[in-house]
């Protein structure tokens, strides 16, 4: 089905060959083992991606957060940032008991029901791993776990059938099938280890690369940057550090990127979500409105049909605008420190690898809950890239609502005799 001329005119054109490269990057980075405080493998992947792209500068703050900027772009005090975090809920080896047994912490939010007898992979080299099984929760003081300053993470004891060769500090991830793209009528779904937040990392790099090439080919040079943060899964630690230090100029407009649990009213294949707030806060309304305006410009229409429209009138390029109140994201941190910030997210299946989460929460799950690969729609991913490119190339300074209401006033004030 062809798209309307309006959509084609307002969306940056990406050749199919580059679209396929974007999917390849998505597949690649979402399979990289990562954990809070152990993001080095993803950083190495990004460094390989940067190799040969001489037009990009990399800067690292005191906490390990990474900023990418374009060398020939103007440096301003009001850059547009795309931000994403480099960690995902996972295990970290804390103690070696013997060659076949070890104790691990789990850094991130996953329901306790998913851990008993779960198989995990211990990543003890760049490409190698051994398999172990969680045998019990580890309570070193004989008391049930509760989060404290001295014991911030749950601990688990795991055993392997062969020597694990692990060292303290190594990463443990769930043992999951290989990543794959499953075709469907909407263009496919990627099932992979860690969409949250590595799919957003891929989208940020895709959009940034397209903007870089467009600027090299003569488009307007804007101050667009990428910020990759550490340790989001245990409380936004990297984002807090960057904000406290003023790593980003105070006039920055920060678009945090996330993968947020899909619900019936925020479905996969519904398009990228302009997220107006989370369970902590409502984001900067002027920036949320500006991003929504870019989405509407690309689509040629609103996210939802108005009362006078039919569903068939809706544009083919989809987007959503939602309050995602089930979780929290780094946009709330940036807002708390006085930055103008909002969020764009991908609707996510198997949030934090918890397959059947709705049933597990309701207590209606048949048998013990088991982990699974996370998944997002390929069309949603491409839509996020499109939206970020639009924001990087022409993000309005304001959502323009005052202009719209002034126009309404001037056209229709006659009905009240004004």
Sequence ranges of the chain with CATH classification 3.40.630.10 = 5-88+179-403
pLDDT tens sequence across 337-395: 999 999 999 999 999 999 999 999 999 999 899 999 999 999 999 999 999 999 999 99
**What does DSSP assign to residue 113?**
G
pLDDT above 70 for 255: yes
Mean pLDDT value of segment 123-137 = 89
User: Which superfamily, per CATH, for 5-88+179-403?
Assistant: Zn peptidases (3.40.630.10)
In whole angstroms, what is the distance from residue 229 CA to residue 64 CA? 8
Q: Please state, rounded to an integer, the average pLDDT across all residues of the chain.
A: 92
Specify the higher pLDDT residue, 307 or 394: 394
Q: Which helix (H) or strand (E) holds 105?
A: strand 101-107
SS3 category, 326: coil
- The pLDDT assigned to 279 comes to 94
pLDDT, one tens digit per residue, over 149-158 is 667 899 999 9
In the chain, ranges of CATH 2.40.30 domains: 90-174
Residue 180 bridge partners (DSSP): 191
Alpha helices per DSSP H over 340-400: 357-362, 378-393
CATH 2.60.120 fits 90-174, yes or no: no
pLDDT tens column, 45-68: 999 999 989 999 999 999 999 999
Instruction: Report yes or no: 197 and 260 within 8 Å, Cβ to Cβ.
Output: no
Say whether 380 sits in a helix, a strand or coil. helix
């Amino acid at each position: 089905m062809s798209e309307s001329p309006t959509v084609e005119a307002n969306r940056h054109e990406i050749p199919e060959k580059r679209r396929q490269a974007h999917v390849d990057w998505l597949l690649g980075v979402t399979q990289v083992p990562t954990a809070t405080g152990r993001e080095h493998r993803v950083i190495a992947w990004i460094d390989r991606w940067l190799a040969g792209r001489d037009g990009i500068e990399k800067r690292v703050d005191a906490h390990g957060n990474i900023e990418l900027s374009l060398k020939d772009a103007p440096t301003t005090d009001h850059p547009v940032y795309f931000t994403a975090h480099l960690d995902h809920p996972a295990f970290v080896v804390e103690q070696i008991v013997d060659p076949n047994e070890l104790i691990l912490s789990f850094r991130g939010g996953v329901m306790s029901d998913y851990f008993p007898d779960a198989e995990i992979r211990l990543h003890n080299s760049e490409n190698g791993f051994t398999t172990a099984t969680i045998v019990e929760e580890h309570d070193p003081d004989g008391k049930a776990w509760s989060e404290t300053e001295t014991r911030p993470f749950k601990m688990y004891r795991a055993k392997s059938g062969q020597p694990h060769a692990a060292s303290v500090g190594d990463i443990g991830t769930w043992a999951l099938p290989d990543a794959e793209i499953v075709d469907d009528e909407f263009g496919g779904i990627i099932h992979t280890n860690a969409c949250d937040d590595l799919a957003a990392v891929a989208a940020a790099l895709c959009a940034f690369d397209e903007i870089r090439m467009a600027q090299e080919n003569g488009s307007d040079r804007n101050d667009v940057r990428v910020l990759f943060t550490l340790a989001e899964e245990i409380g936004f630690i990297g984002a807090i550090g960057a904000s406290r230090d003023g790593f980003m100029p105070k006039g920055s407009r920060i678009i945090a990127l996330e993968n947020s649990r899909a619900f019936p009213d925020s479905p996969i294949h519904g398009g990228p979500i302009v997220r107006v707030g989370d369970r902590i806060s409502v984001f900067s309304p002027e920036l949320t409105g500006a991003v929504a305006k870019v989405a509407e410009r690309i689509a040629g229409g609103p996210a939802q049909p108005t009362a006078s429209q039919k569903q068939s009138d809706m544009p083919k390029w989809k987007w959503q605008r939602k309050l995602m109140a089930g979780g929290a994201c780094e946009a709330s941190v940036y807002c708390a420190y006085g930055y103008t910030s909002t969020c764009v997210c991908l609707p996510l299946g198997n949030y934090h690898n918890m397959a059947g989460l709705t049933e597990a929460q309701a207590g209606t799950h048949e048998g013990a809950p088991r982990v699974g690969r996370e998944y997002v729609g390929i069309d949603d991913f491409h839509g996020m890239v499109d939206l970020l490119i639009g924001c990087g190339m022409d993000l309005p300074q304001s959502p323009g609502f005052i202009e719209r209401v002034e126009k309404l006033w001037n056209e229709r004030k006659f009905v009240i005799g004004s």
